[in-house]
């Protein structure tokens, strides 16, 4: 099997390098490499066609949720139009396109987990642009796997765990939003589950479609932050911030340029049943990543 990976230096891309490598010949492209920039589709198309992959995995995206409010053109170009062009390339090659989307396609109403069949209604530019990308892929008719995920963290790149650990060294008090609910999902879990799904798709083309893919369980950003500090404390790491120093605030009390959905729960039954996998609780992935990030740090 030949695979092209786009966005190979991102949080997810970094773990996909590892998880996809055993599947076959892997061409891993990051934005700065020849043919790796989604805003230069002519170069990218040439690079992909020359390689002639069986699978194109797109982990690249414009992920600056707040900045997207003031840069809607860029967000729509990278998250909306480029995936549609990738889908055209995949169609022409008869390749699969694996793509990632977000809980932010939903408006966050209610408190039940969103299903793939629920009507999306994004609240912000990032969500709109990601929805545009999903729709372009689905309308193209190419064979695809689209995974909607949430609250991604990894060992690399910027994410909530790194931010909390950094701020915990600097402050003894922090206010964190308590009314947005979702499941922190590890890039490693996403990458391993993607590799399994790609293997399955190779001999069961009927699995083509859209899936929610996130760790099991749910939490708020506030409880998530306390969990991170708790793990660090249990390891004897000395921080300025203790779990008691974190206080809850509502989304309304903490305005940001982009409106965030309150309910980011994703129903993952379609994924687990189709691919016969179990998605572990969010706590296990977060605990191991916190431990890895703190590894080597003195107490």
Ligand X SMILES: NC(=O)c1ccc[n+]([C@@H]2O[C@H](COP(=O)([O-])OP(=O)(O)OC[C@H]3O[C@@H](n4cnc5c(N)ncnc54)[C@H](OP(=O)(O)O)[C@@H]3O)[C@@H](O)[C@H]2O)c1
Where along the sequence are the contacts to ligand X (CB under 6 A)?
Answer: 7, 9-13, 31, 36-39, 59-63, 78, 100, 102, 130, 149-152, 157
Our CB check for ligand X shows the closer of 140 and 212 to be: 212
Name the catalytic one among 100, 104, 126, 222. Answer: 126
Distance CA 294, CA 288 (A): 10
Whether 176 contacts 131, CB under 8 Å: no
| Helix pair angle (82-93, 125-140), 10° resolution | 20
Q: In whole angstroms, how close is the CB of 151 to ligand X at the nearest point?
A: 5
Closest distance to ligand X from the beta carbon of 62 (Å): 5
In degrees rounded to 5, what are phi and psi of residue 97?
-115, 120
CB of 186 to ligand X, least distance (A): 11
Q: 38-75 burial by CB neighbour count: b if 16+ within 10 A, else e?
A: beebeebbebbeebebbbbbbbbbbbebeebbebeebb
At 102, give phi and psi (nearest 5°): -140, 155
Active site residue 126: yes
Cβ distance to ligand X smaller for residue 62 or 239: 62
For ligand X, the closer of residues 158 and 247 by Cβ is 158
Residue nearest ligand X by beta-carbon distance: 10
In the chain, count H helices and then E strands: 10, 12
Token pair of 68, please?
């997207």
Q: Whole-number minimum distance, CB 271 to ligand X, in Å?
A: 14
Q: Which CB atom, from 239 or from 266, has the smaller least distance to ligand X?
A: 266
Tokens of 223: 């409880």
CB-nearer residue toward ligand X: 194 or 239: 194
Where in the sequence numbering do the catalytic residues fall?
126
């Amino acid at each position: 099997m030949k695979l092209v990976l786009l966005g190979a230096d991102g949080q997810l891309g970094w773990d996909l390098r590892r998880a996809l490598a055993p599947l076959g010949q892997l061409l891993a492209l990051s934005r700065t490499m020849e043919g790796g920039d989604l805003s230069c589709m002519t170069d990218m198309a040439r690079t992909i066609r020359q390689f002639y992959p069986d699978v194109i995995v797109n982990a690249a995206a414009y992920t600056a949720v707040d900045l997207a409010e003031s840069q809607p053109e860029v967000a729509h170009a990278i998250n909306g139009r480029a995936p549609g062009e990738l889908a055209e390339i995949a169609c022409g090659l008869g390749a699969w396109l694996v793509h990632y989307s977000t809980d932010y396609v939903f408006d966050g109403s209610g408190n039940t987990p969103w299903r793939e069949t629920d009507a999306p209604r994004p609240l912000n530019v990032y969500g709109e642009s990601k929805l545009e990308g999903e729709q372009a892929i689905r309308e193209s008719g190419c064979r695809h796997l689209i995974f909607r995920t949430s609250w991604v963290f990894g060992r690399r790149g910027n994410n909530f765990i790194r931010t909390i650990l950094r701020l915990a060294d600097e402050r003894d008090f922090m206010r964190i939003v308590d009314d947005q609910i979702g499941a922190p999902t590890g890039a490693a879990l996403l990458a391993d589950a993607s590799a399994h799904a790609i293997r399955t798709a190779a001999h069961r083309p009927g699995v083509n479609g859209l899936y929610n893919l996130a760790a099991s369980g749910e939490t708020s950003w506030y409880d998530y932050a306390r969990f991170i500090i708790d793990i660090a404390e249990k390891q004897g790491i000395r921080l300025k911030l203790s779990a008691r120093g974190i206080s809850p605030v509502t989304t309304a009390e903490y305005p940001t340029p982009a409106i965030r959905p309150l309910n980011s729960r994703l129903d993952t039954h379609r994924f687990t049943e189709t691919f016969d996998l179990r998605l572990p609780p969010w706590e296990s992935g977060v605990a191991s990543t916190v431990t890895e990030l703190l590894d080597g740090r003195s107490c």
